[in-house]
Amino acid sequence: MTYAFQNFKYSDFCCKCCGKNLIDSGIIHRLQVLRDILCVPIIVTSGYRCERHNRAVGGATDSMHVRGLAVDWTCSKIEEAAKLCENWSGGFHYYPGRKFIHTDIGRKRRWVTWII
């Protein structure tokens, strides 16, 4: 399968343990728009996850990754990217200590990562 997005490949969104990919093209489109604005590569660290992989990484039981609606990613302009995503219409969280962003195309929500 190929995508009509110039900066992403099918393999970018495959499950790390089984290679399956049920990612929704809507989330890829949003990442492509962000990439076009930022003018730097976006590196997908987690796209679609099968149930087994999601459990192994401690993902939420109702994870949007399992439904193919979420992506964790990073880039060289991560702080600028986080500012751009503050008004994201779906789920958004920036993990500053780990330098990655979670975005999904579910309902709008934000959450806090407590650093102790």
pLDDT tens-digit series, residues 20-78: 999 999 999 999 999 999 999 999 999 999 999 999 999 999 999 999 999 999 999 99
Q: Answer for the pair 40, 32: CB distance below 8 angstroms, yes or no.
A: no
- Residue-range definition of the domain harbouring residue 39: 12-110
Domain membership of residue 50 (yes or no) is: yes
The verdict on residue 60 lying in a domain is yes
Do the domain assignments include residue 7? Answer: no
pTM above 0.85, yes or no: yes
In whole angstroms, what is the distance from residue 36 CA to residue 32 CA?
Answer: 6
CATH number of the domain to which 82 belongs: 3.30.1380.10
Count of domains in the chain?
Answer: 1
Distance between CA 50 and CA 77 in Å, rounded? 29
Predicted confidence band of residue 111 (pLDDT cuts 50, 70, 90): low
pLDDT grade for 18, boundaries at 50, 70 and 90: very high
